[in-house]
């Protein structure tokens, strides 16, 4: 009997978490020896591909276009300046759409609910190596883009992004 209660509790919990749309899950990773705080400027590069399991669609291209101002603002808040030339680091954005792999959800919604991916990849401009990566995933409405969800995803990803080291008075002279 206890075993049945645990299975029922697990099923209810799984359904509750699957039924919470529009809550992004974000992660970020920095290269261990990267000194992002020493960089001063950045520029945007060409788009990167989304994670495996997500496809580039016309909608995801529009998401990338809307993602750019949110990433620009977040980087500026961290003390970095956009450069028209080649910045100290290059920012590449990625977006894609996939299906949630949950058999129960697929039975409830024909074709399954859509899941969106947004990614920010930062490369050292000199070396060309990736020094930071952030990604966010959320259940999405494939018919419309939720700008507040995009902004929330960027905020979650960039929360741990290093703030640029400000020059000291002695170094500024």
Q: What pLDDT does residue 58 have?
A: 86
Q: What pLDDT does residue 106 have?
A: 45
Contact between 115 and 72 (Cβ < 8 Å): no
Q: What pLDDT does residue 5 have?
A: 32
pTM: 0.74
Contact between 118 and 94 (Cβ < 8 Å): yes
Residue found by looking up tokens 């509750």 in the block: 16
24-165 maps to which CATH number?
3.30.160.670
Neighbours of 118 (CB within 10 A): 29
Q: 118-137 pLDDT, tens per residue?
A: 999 999 999 999 999 999 99
Q: What is the overall mean pLDDT for the chain?
A: 79
3-state SS, residue 17: helix
* Cα 155 from Cα 67, distance rounded (Å): 11
User: What value does the mean pLDDT take over residues 61-90?
Assistant: 94
Is pLDDT above 50 for 140?
yes
Cα dihedral across residues 40, 46, 50, 52: positive or negative: negative
């Amino acid at each position: 009997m206890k075993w049945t209660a645990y299975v029922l509790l697990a099923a209810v919990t799984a359904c509750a978490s699957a039924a919470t749309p529009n809550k992004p899950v974000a992660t970020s990773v920095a290269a261990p020896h990267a000194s992002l705080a020493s960089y001063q400027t950045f520029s945007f590069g060409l788009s990167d591909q989304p994670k495996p399991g997500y496809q580039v669609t016309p909608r995801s291209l529009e998401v990338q276009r809307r993602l750019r101002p949110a990433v620009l603002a977040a980087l500026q808040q961290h003390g970095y300046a956009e450069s028209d030339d080649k910045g100290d680091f290059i920012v590449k954005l990625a977006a894609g759409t996939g299906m949630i792999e949950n058999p129960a959800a697929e039975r409830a919604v024909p074709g399954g609910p859509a899941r969106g991916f947004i990614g920010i990849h930062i490369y050292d401009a000199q070396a060309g190596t990736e020094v930071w990566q952030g990604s966010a995933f959320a259940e999405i409405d494939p018919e419309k883009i939720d700008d507040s969800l995009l902004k929330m995803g960027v905020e979650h990803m960039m929360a741990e992004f290093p703030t640029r080291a400000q020059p000291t008075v002695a170094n500024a002279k």
